[in-house]
Amino acid sequence: MIPTADPIVEDPTTLILKYLYNDQNFDVISTDIHEQNVVHLYSMAFAWQMPKLLKDLEHYICEKVISSNNAQKFYIEGVRFKNHNIINLCETKILENFDALCKEGVL
Residue 24 has pLDDT above 80, yes or no: yes
pLDDT of residue 3: 54
* CB-CB contact of 90 with 74 (8 Å): yes
Structural domain spans, the chain: 8-64, 66-107
Residue 2 has pLDDT above 60, yes or no: no
* Residue 64 vs residues 56, 91, 105: alpha-carbon distances, Å: 12, 16, 25
Q: What's the average model confidence in pLDDT over 14-21? A: 96
Choice between 13 and 99, residue whose per-residue pLDDT is larger: 13
